Every structure is written in C-alpha cells, then in structure tokens.
Amino acid sequence: MCAACSRSDTAMPVGVEAAQVWRANLALTYERQGKRSVLAARRHDGPLVVQKPLYPEGDGVCHTIVVHPPGGIAGGDELQISACLRTAAHALLTTPSAGKWYRSLGMWARQGVDFDLHSGVCLEWLPQENIFFNGAYAQLRTTVRLSGNANFIGWDICCLGRTGSGETISAGSFRWRTSIERDHRPLWFESARLEGSGTELQSAVVLAGQPVVGTLMAASHKLDSAALNACRQLQPVSGDGAVTLLPGLILGRYRGMSSEAAKNYFINLWHQLRPLVVGREAIDPRIWRT
C-alpha cells in the first residue's frame, strides 16, 4: 500500500499534509440516446472516479457511484465534481460511504460540486454523509444551475465530530456555500460558517448542541402546497425535521444527534417527492445496503 493511501484517521504529522496534498477533478456528461440515459463522457484527474453505470430502474435512469479511493480528505486536498445533463437525460449520483474530513494542522480541505442541467433533464444527488473530525478545516461549495423545466433533488448531511466514539468539536473551522438558480435567477442561496472554538455550535438558533445537520433540496415547477403538506407528515425518528416551500423549491432540514436518522428522514422525503418531481417511484441504490 502506498504511503498516501495509508492515511490514518488522526492528524497528520508536521509536514506530511503538504507532502500528501491531493487535487482531484471529476467531470461527467450525461445524454439521452434513444430511450437510454447514458454517461456520454467522463474525465477525471487524480483520485476521484466513477464505477460502471448501473440501471436498476431500466434504461431511463443512469445510476452512478462517485468514488474517492483514499476514503478521507486531509488539509490541502481539493476535490472538484461536476456534471452536465443534456437532451432529456436522467442521472442519479451517490457515494459508497461517508466522507471523512481529517484534523488539519491549519491547511484548508475543499470540495466543489457544480451541476449544469439543461431543460428537460433530471439529476438526483444523494451522497452519504460527511463526517468532520475535531480540528478539521473544511470548505464545501455546491452550485446547481437549472435551465427551463429541469428537475433536481439533492441533499447534504454533515456530522460534526465522530459521534460514535464520543468525539465533540472544539477546534477547526467549517464553511458551506450552496446556491441554486434557474435560468440565471436565484432560487436559493445559503452561506454558513462555524468555528469549532466558537459559540455557534451551542447556540439555540444554530445547532443547539446537536452535531448533525442536513438539508434536502428539491427544485421543480411541479412542487406545490400539496407536496409540502405530504412532506410535513413525515418526521425523523430522532432529532428535529422541518420542510419549507419556496417558489419552485422545497427545502427539508434536519438537526439532531444521528446521521443515520438524518439520512433515513431524507430518504423518506425523497420517496415522497420523487414520484411528483421525476414521475417514478424511488428505488434505493444498492450500494446503500452494503
């Protein structure tokens, strides 16, 4: 095993971060060819790849698993994922396991996600949760650009600290930036910054001491008050959940102690929304059961 692939789940020794910085780029293009949605082009540089496209729902939906072989993100690492969907394509992207963001000596780790959706297409971005170790310096940015009647469903789940081992956050810095636009008009923009040594984690108006936070986003012209009311009938088994309707957009929120509860809550919301937005019943990716 190479030294870079043997990264531990603890902080790197002095000088190792700079020596093992990884920058990775993955660009995907989907198209409709006849009745089949296909991964028409893929380009990757560095340790970020996709597995063979899968079709558990038939030819109409291309399921794709995005893999980051190192399994963890250290200070100085930069990941860039982009996808362009054209000509009535429908793709579902997920990841095989939780992303781990390691404690840093001060260097930032960054991830950028950019989606460009042409009119008539649908993208579902359903990654596993991100786990931020105490002392991580992490920046995450997600940008979704929709044209015409393109549809999008996606989520982001973040766990601050390795709660299974009792770790809490007392150091580091965490920044998120999310924007969704349709035809160059903003539907949603959010920017957040949390300091591990600050008071935000305990503030009643922010996380109230809860280590897990998540947001589900569904953008479609088909969303209405009936969809909102149906979603509001669903609640997480633990923690707090809420759903909001904005013009052309439904937002689901989770705040609690369990990333598993957050994920199951969002899966239930996805099961509720998908038939309306996509016109298909939800079929969970097989990788979620492994």
Tokens read off for 206: 């922010």
Tokens read off for 195: 């300091």
Residue-level pLDDT at 254: 98
pLDDT digits (tens, 9 = 90+) for 117-147: 999 999 999 999 999 999 999 999 999 999 9
Tokens read off for 182: 């349709």
Task: Using only the alpha carbons of the chain, give its radius of gyration.
Answer: 19
Residue-level pLDDT at 7: 43
Sign of the Cα torsion 255, 257, 262, 265 reads negative
Cβ neighbors of 40 (< 8 A, separation 6 or more) are 29, 30, 31, 33
Residue-level pLDDT at 112: 98
Residue-level pLDDT at 158: 96
Residue-level pLDDT at 165: 83
Tokens read off for 92: 């579902």
Please state, in angstroms and rounded to a whole number, the distance separating the CA atoms of residues 189 and 89.
26
Tokens read off for 59: 């030819």
Show the low-confidence residues of the chain (pLDDT under 50): 1-16
H runs (alpha helix) in 234-288: 259-277
Identify any residues that bridge with 113 across adjacent strands, giving them in sequence order: 81, 142
Cβ neighbors of 58 (< 8 A, separation 6 or more) are none
124 contacts 154 by C-beta, under 8 angstroms:
yes
Sign of the Cα torsion 200, 202, 203, 205 reads positive
